[in-house]
């Protein structure tokens, strides 16, 4: 199971002020302020994207892979992209997870309005149970695969009590300037969040690529689609800093 989650090659198959995001356990918190291309007299259009360290996974002797979730503070809502992990599980014991769950740190869970799962592998949906009753946007293909395929994820984390999935087929603008775009490769139902800025977009990409190298030389359908957007930045789940396109 572990190796599958870390492989990003194609598979066969209403406005209110939000509190700031802080965490004493985060190794590093990087803020990216983005000016969006619409205008609303009620609030300044200046959402931020903030990565938060949720876990570290052992992937090789002495090498740990960070797992980041991303908070988008949009003028109309606080959006959480992926939810990390909150507990250990025997199915991934070989990865010796070190956990930094949102529920155990200085993060106001009640401030979240919307959740997006880029996909439903265990390290991206393990905190979904913290957001029962909120809309959780996921591609229908991803939800179907997570519920039907063996060794795909930790199924009880996907279908924790009280979760409300909004199954999406294809692209969807779920808030002004925030768009879900399918990006298959790492999984068939992989999606990314595209933040329109009035200029080049910013992408919150989950595992569309596990490393910068995969975006430098894209191969999967999802990676090629992201590069075709000509983004200014791409935030990835397993990199602390955002990817930036190579200089011409």
Q: What is the pLDDT along the chain (248 residues), one digit of tens a residue?
A: 554 455 544 443 333 344 334 333 332 333 343 334 444 443 345 579 999 999 999 999 889 999 999 999 999 999 999 999 999 999 999 999 999 999 998 899 999 999 999 999 999 999 999 999 999 999 999 999 999 999 999 999 999 999 999 999 999 999 999 999 999 999 999 999 999 988 899 999 999 999 999 999 999 999 999 999 999 999 999 999 999 998 87
Q: What is the pLDDT of residue 248?
A: 75
CB atoms within 10 A of CB 144: 14
Quick one: CA torsion of 123, 126, 130, 133, rounded to 10 degrees?
100
Q: Is 133 exposed, middle or buried (0-12, 13-18, 19+ CB in 10 A)?
A: exposed
Give the pLDDT score at 1.
Answer: 59
Check residue 47 and give its pLDDT. Answer: 73
Q: Quote the pTM value.
A: 0.85
Q: Which alpha helices (H) appear in 49-117, and where do they start and end? A: none
CA distance 143 to 36: 30
* Residue 195: per-residue pLDDT: 96
- Check residue 19 and give its pLDDT: 38
Distances in Å between the Cα of 99 and the Cα atoms of 89, 108, 194, 246 are 12, 18, 28, 33
Percent composition of the chain: helix, strand, coil (DSSP 3-state, to 5)? 20, 25, 50
């Amino acid at each position: 199971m572990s190796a599958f989650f870390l492989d990003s090659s194609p598979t066969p198959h209403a406005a209110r002020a939000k509190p700031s995001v802080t965490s004493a356990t985060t190794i590093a918190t990087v803020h990216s302020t983005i000016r969006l291309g619409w205008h609303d007299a009620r609030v300044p259009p200046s959402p931020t994207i903030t990565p938060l360290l949720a876990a570290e996974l052992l992937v090789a002797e002495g090498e740990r892979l960070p797992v980041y979730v991303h908070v988008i503070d949009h003028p109309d809502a606080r959006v959480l992209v992926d939810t990390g992990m909150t507990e250990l599980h025997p199915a991934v014991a070989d990865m010796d997870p070190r956990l930094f769950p949102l529920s155990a740190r200085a993060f106001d869970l009640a401030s979240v309005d919307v959740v997006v799962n880029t996909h439903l592998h265990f390290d991206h949906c393990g905190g979904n149970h913290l957001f029962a009753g909120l809309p959780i946007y996921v591609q229908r293909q991803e939800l179907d695969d997570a519920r039907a395929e063996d060794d795909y994820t930790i199924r009880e984390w996907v279908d924790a009590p009280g979760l409300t999935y909004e199954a999406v087929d294809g692209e969807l603008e779920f808030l002004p300037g925030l768009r879900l775009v399918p990006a298959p490769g790492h999984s068939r139902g992989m999606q990314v969040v595209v933040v329109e800025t009035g200029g080049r977009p910013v992408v919150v990409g989950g595992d569309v690529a596990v490393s910068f190298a995969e975006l430098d030389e894209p191969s999967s359908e999802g990676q090629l689609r992201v590069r075709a957007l000509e983004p200014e930045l791409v935030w990835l789940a397993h990199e602390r800093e955002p990817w930036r396109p190579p200089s011409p």
